[in-house]
Amino acid sequence: MLKKDLILRNPLSLLGHEPDDILPAGSFGAVLARAGVGKTALMVQIALNALLRDKNVLHISLNDPVQKVSLWYEEVFRNIAKAQHLQDINELWETILTHRFIMTFQVEGFSVPKLKERLTDLTAQGIFFPQMVIMDGLPFDNPTDLLTDIKSLSVDYRLPIWFSIRTHQRETVAINGLPPQIAGVSDLFDIILQLQPEGKDVQVKALKGGRPESGQPALFLDPATLLIK
């Protein structure tokens, strides 16, 4: 019952997506925002939703050490449980941790061959079989060739991959209305979400892959907990 209650907090279901078709195998999703607005918090909520459905999530961080990433997950998980007024969640927390694996890289040392080698090590030795990937901190200054290679990997491994993309204030959007970091590679992405500060809140906007016909209300990140509201 606890797990069911927490699954109902799936943030993307509020954008009109069904629980199991948020991002198909081999597809890309993106969360765009300026530094410190809440990209990691939203991606962790997306990951937690998958973990609660017993999906194996590989979290790749190019910025933060394993311990800091772990703290993000625990804080968001406990904030969700608190918002739902749920008690005795420690056993559930320990259970979902078996479905998560955190992998770190130095930005300058990251490459697709290195990622593929580490993925092969995990699966060949039966350590972990990812079903979704969160990639946090990958630079998007000139991403075309790198993303094409990652796309091939995601298709080969049948992995949906979510990326955090850092944008900057007062940027000129491209002709397709997207921030410059993703405008030239948007065809690789099924879903593009942007976190836009609106007063004291942060609005979650679907730039691609949203379902306006669903009639859902505007969504925001709570400034105190960074949870969808």
The pLDDT value recorded for residue 105 is 93
The pLDDT value recorded for residue 119 is 95
Judge residue 52's burial from the number of C-beta atoms within 10 Å of its C-beta, 0-12 exposed, 13-18 middle, 19 or more buried: buried
Q: What secondary structure letter does DSSP report for 30?
A: E
Q: Which of 137, 133, 148, 107 is nearest to 33 (CA)?
A: 137
**Which residue's structure tokens are 């770190």?**
104
Task: Determine the angle formed by the axes of helices 66-83 and 39-52, rounding to 10 degrees.
Answer: 70
Enumerate the H helices of the chain as residue ranges: 2-7, 39-52, 66-83, 90-97, 112-124, 144-156, 180-183
The pLDDT value recorded for residue 151 is 95
**Which residue's structure tokens are 């907990």?**
225
Strand 189-198 relative to strand 201-208: parallel, antiparallel, unpaired? antiparallel
The pLDDT value recorded for residue 210 is 64
Judge residue 213's burial from the number of C-beta atoms within 10 Å of its C-beta, 0-12 exposed, 13-18 middle, 19 or more buried: exposed
The pLDDT value recorded for residue 12 is 60
107/100 Cα distance (integer angstroms): 22
The pLDDT value recorded for residue 10 is 60
According to DSSP, the residues that pair with 166 across neighbouring strands are 33
The pLDDT value recorded for residue 142 is 74
pLDDT digits (tens, 9 = 90+) for 202-215: 888 888 886 555 55
Report the CATH fold assignment for 2-221. Rossmann fold (3.40.50)
The pLDDT value recorded for residue 100 is 97
Ranges of residues in the chain whose predicted pLDDT is under 70? 1-2, 4-21, 171-175, 210-217
pLDDT digits (tens, 9 = 90+) for 80-121: 888 877 788 888 899 999 999 999 998 888 999 999 999 999
The pLDDT value recorded for residue 161 is 97
The two tokens of residue 171 are: 């940027």
The pLDDT value recorded for residue 227 is 81
The two tokens of residue 185 are: 């590679």
**Which residues, in sequence order, are CB contacts of 128 under 8 Å at separation 6+?**
56, 58, 101, 122
The pLDDT value recorded for residue 213 is 52
